[in-house]
Amino acid sequence: MSILVYAESWEGKFRKNTLEAISYAKKTSSLFQTDVKAVTCGIIDNNELERLGEFGANKVVSYPNIIKSDGKAVASILQQEVEESQLIIFSNTFNAKIIASRISSKLKAGLVTNVISYITNSSDICVKKQSFSSKAIETVRLKSKIGILSLSPNAFEIKNDSVDVVIEVKDQKIDSEIIILGKDINKGKISLSEAEIVVSAGRGLKAPENWGMVEELAEILGAATACSKPVSDIGWRPHSEHVGQTGKAIAPNLYIAIGISGAIQHLAGVNSSKVMVVINTDPEAPFFKAADYGIIGDAFEVVPKLIEEFKNLKDN
């Protein structure tokens, strides 16, 4: 019956969150005593397709002529590939949310997004998810025959678990009702929702020209950059960096907050981070109650010192 994974690709490559989904499916497949089938859309070369076998995919079905941004087309492809599958796994990207909800409707299959736990019982499927903007963890039971899970990024381990993989390429085409006029990709930047380390700054930095040190720190750590809401509202930083209850919810291993007070709406989007560090001049700032490590001090003095120390660490 297979566990079906939608293996999303970016410019012909799989990213970390796709591999997380494959690993999740592999681990779950032993509970269900079945194998793992991945479906991909867009042009992806054979080596990359085979790579999914290293993480446990027994079969990969590739549709090079289906554009992944056409959610309707991808959903109908998945519908035809679902066969006897009882579970469909996605990683929780913008794209996946379009496809997962459409396929949920087509198959009358219960959908749980932002999933953060494995399934423990194959005959009564329950999983945990983030809800109330990370202020709560909700356990949801699936009442339908088929279940769809969309996994929170960074919540699951990627595990090498090589199996023999069969690749099948299908040249089916579906006409798209959407005309793409243009794409503006942040080249070379680390995606905020996937990043393991995030360096974030707030109004405490006082002006947009002071972000140089934030970017430098991020670069040394291989981190993505983020910001508080007011900073993106006034246009110091792009909206796509805004984290919090009304921005992106993230869960990196390390979140460094510089000159951010730690308002409840900000914390709601970042408190799933494994370790949080705050740098703030005000010892009463609420962030100190939420963080694991804190430095009470001026960002303009502390951040350059931190950059030096991280450089030293890297050099040794």
Ligand X SMILES: Cc1cc2nc3c(=O)[nH]c(=O)nc-3n(C[C@H](O)[C@H](O)[C@H](O)COP(=O)(O)OP(=O)(O)OC[C@H]3O[C@@H](n4cnc5c(N)ncnc54)[C@H](O)[C@@H]3O)c2cc1C
Contact stretch for ligand X (CB under 6 A) within 25-33, 111-119, 217-225, 227-235? 227-235
Q: What are phi and psi of 195, to 5 degrees?
A: -60, 140
Element (H, E) at 288: helix 287-290
Contact stretch for ligand X (CB under 6 A) within 12-20, 83-91, 163-171, 281-289? 281-289
Told to check if 202 binds ligand X by CB under 6 A, we report: yes
Contact stretch for ligand X (CB under 6 A) within 60-68, 85-93, 215-223, 245-253? 245-253
Contact stretch for ligand X (CB under 6 A) within 76-84, 96-104, 147-155, 197-205? 197-205
**CA 135, CA 18: separation in Å to the nearest integer?**
26
Told to check if 5 binds other proteins by CB under 8 A, we report: no
Nearest Cα to 201, choosing from 100, 62, 97, 300? Answer: 300
The interface partner of residue 275, options being ligand X, other proteins, none and the CB cut-off 5 to 8 Å by kind, is other proteins
Told to check if 265 binds ligand X by CB under 6 A, we report: yes
Q: Which is nearer to ligand X, 6 or 236 (CB)?
A: 236
The interface partner of residue 160, options being other proteins, ligand X, none and the CB cut-off 5 to 8 Å by kind, is none
Q: Which is nearer to other proteins, 13 or 46 (CB)?
A: 13
DSSP states of 191-258: PTTT-SEEEEE-GGG-SGGGGHHHHHHHHHHT-EEEE-HHHHHTTSS-GGGBBSTTSB----SEEEEE
Quote the least distance from Cβ 212 to ligand X, whole Å: 15
Told to check if 105 binds other proteins by CB under 8 A, we report: yes
Q: For residue 209, what are the contacts with CB-CB under 8 A and spacing of at least 6?
A: none
Q: Which is nearer to ligand X, 18 or 280 (CB)?
A: 280
**CA 196, CA 251: separation in Å to the nearest integer?**
8
